[in-house]
């Protein structure tokens, strides 16, 4: 009985340690809120007059405080399409980010045409 209890105790301690390491690991944390936007295209939609579509570089991505992927169930963009990412830089700067340059240009032109 002691041997069985010792094996259970050892297994539990191992699982507990693994769980703690997994929770604390960088892969499981949200330390980098922008891993999926680098290489995509976006613009600061709070400043449409001077906005232009630009590739999201790793340096630009580091300025984002948080990013939220807006999937197919989320609110539509300026063209009413979904499937984009919204990233907050600060209280007066937010980016809408799209997978292609064409989509970014279409969204920006639509925003400007609507005077938004």
Residue 110's nearest CA partner among 80, 74, 87, 89 is: 80
Confidence (pLDDT) at 73:
76
Confidence (pLDDT) at 75:
80
Domain that includes residue 67, residue range: 41-113
Confidence (pLDDT) at 108:
95
- The larger pLDDT score, comparing residue 36 to residue 35, is at 36
Least confident of 30-39, 52-61, 90-99: 30-39
Q: Looking at the domain assignment, is residue 97 inside a domain?
A: yes
Q: Looking at the domain assignment, is residue 36 inside a domain?
A: no
Structure tokens at 38: 């680098």
Is 47 in the same domain as 96?
Answer: yes
Domain count within the chain: 2
In the predicted structure, residue 18 carries a pLDDT above the cut 60: no
In the predicted structure, residue 105 carries a pLDDT above the cut 90: yes
Q: Looking at the domain assignment, is residue 74 inside a domain?
A: yes
Q: Looking at the domain assignment, is residue 34 inside a domain?
A: no
Is 49 in the same domain as 80?
Answer: yes
């Amino acid at each position: 009985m002691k041997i069985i209890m010792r094996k259970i105790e050892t297994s539990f301690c191992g699982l507990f340690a693994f769980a703690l390491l997994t929770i604390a690991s960088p892969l499981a944390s949200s330390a980098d809120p922008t891993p999926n936007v680098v290489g995509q295209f976006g613009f600061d939609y709070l400043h449409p007059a001077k906005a232009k579509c630009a590739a999201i570089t790793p340096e630009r991505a580091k300025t984002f405080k948080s990013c939220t992927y807006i999937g197919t169930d989320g609110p539509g963009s300026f063209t009413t399409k979904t499937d984009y990412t919204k990233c907050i830089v600060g209280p007066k700067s937010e980016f809408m980010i799209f997978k292609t340059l064409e989509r970014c240009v279409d969204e920006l032109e639509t925003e400007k045409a609507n005077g938004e």
